[in-house]
Amino acid sequence: MQRFVCEQNIAHFQRLLETAEDEKLRRTLLGLLSSAKRELALLHSQISGADLSPLACRNKAGDLNSVLAQIRASFDTSDHPYMLIDAGPGLKIIDINDAYSRATFTTRDTIVGKPLFEVFPDNPALETADGVSNVYNSLRTVVETGQPHALAVQRYDVRNADGVFVERYWQSINTPVQDAAGRLICLLHNIENVTAEVLAN
């Protein structure tokens, strides 16, 4: 029922936006639309993760440990920020490397095993924040297509060590991690902080 309400709200707000001419009304509608999309993404991520296919139709996951052992050395030592995400319900964080930890003010010990959007929620002070819904849709696209997916530059604020949201813009790519048989093991999330470049323009 909650999903139906979110989907109806999204369709309704999009229709209203098409004809709204008043700038204040447009801002209000954009905020409502962003909120409804976020709620739907969170609902989907909690119930089914990035794989919306029926449980019976899902591919049996391959051996996570054996695949991770193959990529562990390059993952851990890379200067590029990487996170591994379980595509199942909750989109739980499997691991991050040190570069990811530095870029996002997090530590491996405090976020591994937690749901992605619990650790990285949208900034509640930003009414039109769409990081959660856009990242979720990208992860879902990767699962559905089996191909990498790059997002457009995305504003997605993160909390610093004091829990205060800091303005950040990211270029990110999500990639499927598969075993030799082509079965999905997990999702690889790569981010590059492009905040300085965005704010300089």
Distance CA 107, CA 45 (A): 22
Q: Are 175 and 187 in contact (CB under 8 A)?
A: yes
Residue 4: the pLDDT is 67
Q: What is the pLDDT of residues 141-187, one digit of tens each?
A: 999 999 999 999 999 999 999 999 999 999 999 999 988 888 888 99
Task: Say how many Å lie between the first and final Cα of the chain, rounded.
Answer: 44
So what's the pLDDT on residue 57?
44
Residue in the structure block whose two tokens are 């990811």: 100
All residue ranges of the chain with pLDDT < 70 are 1, 3-6, 9, 12, 52-62
- Read off the tokens for 143: 């699962």
Rounded to whole angstroms, the Cα distance separating 188 from 55 reads: 22
The dotted CATH code for 2-200 is: 3.30.450.20
Average pLDDT over the chain, rounded to whole?
A: 87
Question: Side chain identity at 20, as an amino acid letter?
Answer: A
Give the span between the Cα atoms of 165 and 159, in whole angstroms. Answer: 4
The dihedral through the CA atoms of 179, 148, 173, 138 has a sign that is negative
Question: What stretch of H or E contains 104?
Answer: helix 98-104
